[in-house]
């Protein structure tokens, strides 16, 4: 089914409205932050780095984000390999919005993935073509670093052709149960969200349409903020050659800071 568009980008001058979007919907978009030339240069460097790493085995303890595919489509710990990425992802305007939303918090630059460059394409060998329904909190409900949010800078525009984020607005307010995998391991049922009301229906297991879902397309250079408790998925590009959905991504967390490598602390929380 065709999803309605959820929200449109706000400018820095509309920061108050942007914060309102996030608190109401669980996501918000900030536009007009960067000069296109700056991001195009950075995209070229990230793409070259991915080309060098794509056919290599991932380093020990760093699993592929899509373990079942032959070709990796991401670069982890990007700020360690391409330090200038930090100037963009940690631009003072972005950091100011994050701290308005989370308060005292910290970005995950270490751990299993750290800062990530990712390129979603529709090649069958790709490790990242689409993502099923999930919340980011479900990747580690046993951790004490929540609430959290993710910042994504779009190095391509997103839309029906190359895929876009699919969200269930307001779902960050539900008390969403952890995934079946972590529930079996813990023997109990943990819930994550800002409210006490359980979801009105179960989360889909994979990529199927969800009643009430909305599209969240972004323009080149848009900065997306989305909450770790928000139900979201990513659509797949249409079957055309040469379609990409490239972006930079970093998570911000409000609990005690922990940058340690923890190979047992990540649960694969979304179908790919």
pLDDT above 60: residue 4: no
Query: For position 2, what pLDDT does the model report?
Result: 41
Helix, strand, or coil here: 235?
coil
Q: Token digits for 141?
A: 């409900």
Assess contact for 156 and 220: CB atoms under 8 A: yes
Among 5-14, 50-59, 194-203, the least confident range: 50-59
Query: For position 12, what pLDDT does the model report?
Result: 86
pLDDT above 80: residue 47: yes
Helix, strand, or coil here: 84?
coil
**126: which strand partners?**
71
pLDDT above 60: residue 45: yes
Q: How many CB atoms lie within 10 A of CB 80?
A: 13
81 confidence band (pLDDT: 50, 70, 90): very high
Indicate the burial class of 193 (C-beta count within 10 angstroms; 0-12, 13-18, 19 or more): buried
Hey, what domains does the chain have and what are their CATH numbers?
4-253 (2.60.120.620)
């Amino acid at each position: 089914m065709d999803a309605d568009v959820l929200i449109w980008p706000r400018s820095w001058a509309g920061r108050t409205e942007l914060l309102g979007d996030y608190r109401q919907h669980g996501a918000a978009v900030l536009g007009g932050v960067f000069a296109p030339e700056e991001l195009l240069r950075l995209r070229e460097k990230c793409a070259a780095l991915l080309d060098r790493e794509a056919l290599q085995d991932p380093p020990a303890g760093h699993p592929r984000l899509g373990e079942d595919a032959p070709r990796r489509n991401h670069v982890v710990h990007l700020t360690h390999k391409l330090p200038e990425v930090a100037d963009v992802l940690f631009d003072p305007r972005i950091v100011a919005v994050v701290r308005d939303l989370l308060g005292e918090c910290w970005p995950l630059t270490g751990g299993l993935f750290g800062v990530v460059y990712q390129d979603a394409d529709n090649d069958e060998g790709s490790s990242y073509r689409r993502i099923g329904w999930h919340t980011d909190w479900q990747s580690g409900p046993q951790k004490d670093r929540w609430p959290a949010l993710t910042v994504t800078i779009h190095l391509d525009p997103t839309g029906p052709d190359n895929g876009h984020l699919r969200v269930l607005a307001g779902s960050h307010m539900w008390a969403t149960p952890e995934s079946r995998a972590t529930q079996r391991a813990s023997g109990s049922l943990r819930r994550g969200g800002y409210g006490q009301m359980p979801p009105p229906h179960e989360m889909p297991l994979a990529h199927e349409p969800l009643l009430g879902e909305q599209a969240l397309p972004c323009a080149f250079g848009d900065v997306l903020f989305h909450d770790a408790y928000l139900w979201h998925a990513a659509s797949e590009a249409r079957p055309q050659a040469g379609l990409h959905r490239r972006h930079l991504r970093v998570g911000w967390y409000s609990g005690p800071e922990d940058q340690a490598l923890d190979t047992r602390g990540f649960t694969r929380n979304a179908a790919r």
